[in-house]
Each structure stands twice: as structure tokens, then as C-alpha cells.
Amino acid sequence: MSEIKVNSIKGVGASAAAITVNNTDGTCTANLTNRTNKNLILNGAFLISQRGTSSTANGYGSVDRFRVQHSATDEAPTQSQVDVASGTTPYSLGFRKAFRITNGNQTSGAGTGDKIKYEHYLEVQDIANSGWNYTSASSFITLSYWIKSSVAQNFYGVVRTRQGTSYSYAYETGSLSANTWTKVTKTFPGNANLQFDNDTAKNFQTDIYAFMGSDLTGSKTLNEWSAYSSSNQTPDQTSTWYTTNDATLEITGVQLEVGSVATDFEHRSFGQELQLCKRYFQKMGGSADHYFFGISRGENATARTGLFIPVPMRAAPTVVCGNHRAFKDGVNSSSTSTPSLYAPSDWVSESSMYTVDFPGHSVSHNLIYHMMSNGTSSTALTLSSEL
């Protein structure tokens, strides 16, 4: 019987092995580009935008699972879901949407405390159960994305852990040509100081900076893990983009996967991506009388109802409803009081039925009322358990 003994199999000109053999037990690992469920990032192609397509909110405001954080700006930036132009790469790779930051008018220049950045958070259990041996320097996780800036310059990114002692790893995109899509790939090794518990808390923060002032930057060493410092997150950053009115920065195709190489992006259908995003945010649209629930009397004459939730959420959600009314026998009472989840300490993570109280109504015992919207909005009733 013939046999071939090798340590690895690598393509001609390839930088990484396609198959790596364990010389002790004979097992092997393979770098596959078509494996499923590899992307730990949800909505990395920015298909889903439940809150709307454009916002100046500081935090979540447009696309799902990603947020824009800004501080000390003269004019707030705008975050928006935008189209990827045809005839470009990444359009040819199947990407049709991107996440854009449009700079405001920063009339006072680049302040030392100014900041605009993309943020994304993972549940810590998603890293703990990913298969990444995160305390080993010989085990890797790889981030890749496409980025385009209207201003030619270098940008910085950071990944950060948030449990135990917080550690961060800073890197740079390299100099981008103006209005040209560039793919960025960064591989992070494990480190003995990293901690990821098996729960639903916020961890593995991914930041991409449009700009950050000198109070937040310094002598940070690139391409290594070190203890996180809020005053030394990256090396000092150039302010060209930030001091250009209406400058834009766009990203798409964000993927985080276990392994030392970036494989082809895992495209998910719109329906699948939407269901995954609903673990963190759900909405019910409304024009006048759009949604319709049966309600009864809770404590303090509060209108109480049970909401069926198509996807159980990460944590007991925050409920927002700007305008609602209770109706019975031609009589109704309107309220703008903020609703809340009843007995959130008794919330069950696997449950699809949530009990919600709508205050500001006078309802009686042993009677059934109807709850209706009393305004026009695509997010008339929302539930959020975002990180």
C-alpha cells in the first residue's frame, strides 16, 4: 500500500495552506470558502434597516446591528443605508447595499475630543462558542470588509474585548484612494488575557474610525493585543476627512470568521438576515389604528396586553410606543406615556409572548378593550434588546 506523508497542501502562489495535517494524530484542518454559518457578524451586507434608511442619531439609527457613535461634533454626521453602484467591485460580488457616514460641517476644526466611528458588538457567547481558541496565539479569527472614502487617507480600526480586563488590537486600513472601494483584511491571534464568558453580554467590539481627536489617541502600537486605554485607542489620526464638509465613508461586506484567512463572504437571504436581526430589534408599523390588540386592566388601571413576538429576543426588551389609545364601545382614551414590559425579572429568553403595560389609560376590571396606534410611523411600536 502506498501513502503520501505531508504537513500541508498549499496552492501554487497561495499564502496559506488549503489543508493542514496534524502530524501527531493524523487529523487535518481545511480552509473552505463555502462553509455555512461562518460569519459571526449579522447584517454585514446591510440589507436590513428596520429603523429607517437615514438618521443623525448617536447610536443605532438606520441599519440593523451597526451603529454610529459621535461626540463633540459641531454638526452631527448622518448615517444611512445606501446603494452600491453597479459596475463596481463589490457590486460584482453580490453586494447591493452599504452603510455610509456623511460628515457634518465641523466649523471649529478637529477638536481633541471629537469622534466619529462605526461600532458593532457581538454577544459574548457567540465568540465563546465559535471554535476560536482565543487564549492561544496560534489560533486566529479574521475580519474582512470593503471600505470607500470620498477623501484619500489612511483610517484605523480596533477590536476590543469587554470582559475581565479589557484588551484591544488596533490596525490600519492603509491609504485609501478617493472614491475607490478597497478590501481590508485583518487576522487577529488569540491572547492569554482575553476573556469571553458564555452569556448574552456585550463583547468583541469592532470599531472603524472616521476620526478621533488627540485626547483619545497617542502612541498605541499597531497589530498587537494590549490593555485597552480610552486615551490611547489608536495612533494619532489625520483630520483630513473630518475637516472636509460632507465627506463620506462607506463599508459593506463585513465578515468575522474563525481561521487565519478571509474566505468568500457568506451571503444570506433578506428573509434569513431579517429573522436573525429580530433577536435585537423588532418593530410594528402604524398609521391611525394600524395595530390592534385585545387588552385588559393591569395594576393602577394600566392597559395590559400580550404581544406575540416572532423571534425571541436577546434580553428583556425596552418597549417604545409614541402614541396609543384604548378603545371600547365607541369611547377611547389616548396616551403618549411610555409602555413597559411587565415583570421583566420574570422574562423568559425562549418565550415568544411578552406581557406589556400601556400606561395613561383608565380601564376597568373584567372588561375587554382594544389597543390601537394613534399616529403614523414605520416604527410605531418597537422592542429593542440591542447590545
Give 75-91 pLDDT, tens digit per residue: 999 999 999 999 999 99
The pLDDT of residue 332 is 79
Contacts (Cβ under 8 Å, ≥6 apart) of 143 = 157, 159, 184, 185, 186, 187, 188, 206, 254, 255, 256, 262
3-state secondary structure of 275: helix
| CATH number for region 54-277 | 2.60.120.260
Confidence of residue 32 (pLDDT cuts 50, 70, 90): low
Report yes or no: 355 and 339 within 8 Å, Cβ to Cβ. no
The grid coordinates listed for 244 are 472636509
Q: What is the number of residues in the chain?
A: 387
The grid coordinates listed for 6 are 505531508
Classify the phi-psi angles of 69: left when phi > 0, otherwise alpha if psi is within -120 to 50, otherwise beta.
beta
Confidence of residue 322 (pLDDT cuts 50, 70, 90): confident
Confidence of residue 14 (pLDDT cuts 50, 70, 90): confident
| pLDDT higher than 80, residue 373 | no
Confidence of residue 334 (pLDDT cuts 50, 70, 90): confident
User: ∠264-268-274 over CA atoms, to 5°?
Assistant: 145
pLDDT digits (tens, 9 = 90+) for 205-263: 999 999 999 999 999 999 999 999 999 999 999 999 999 999 999 999 999 999 999 99
Contacts (Cβ under 8 Å, ≥6 apart) of 11 = 18
| pLDDT higher than 60, residue 1 | no
| pLDDT higher than 60, residue 382 | yes
What are the residue ranges spanned by the domains of the chain? Answer: 1-31, 54-277, 281-384
Contacts (Cβ under 8 Å, ≥6 apart) of 204 = 121, 122, 124, 126, 127, 159, 160, 161, 162, 196, 256
The pLDDT of residue 362 is 82
For the segment 375-382, the average pLDDT, to the nearest whole number, is 75
Separation CA 282–CA 307 (nearest Å): 12
pLDDT more than 70, % of the chain: 94
Confidence of residue 287 (pLDDT cuts 50, 70, 90): low
| pLDDT higher than 60, residue 34 | no
For the segment 134-151, the average pLDDT, to the nearest whole number, is 98
* Better-predicted residue by pLDDT, 305 or 266: 266
pLDDT more than 90, % of the chain: 70
The pLDDT of residue 193 is 98
For the segment 291-306, the average pLDDT, to the nearest whole number, is 81
Cβ atoms within 10 Å, residue 230: 9
Q: Provide the whole-model pTM.
A: 0.92
| pLDDT higher than 80, residue 114 | yes
| pLDDT higher than 70, residue 35 | no
Report yes or no: 155 and 149 within 8 Å, Cβ to Cβ. yes
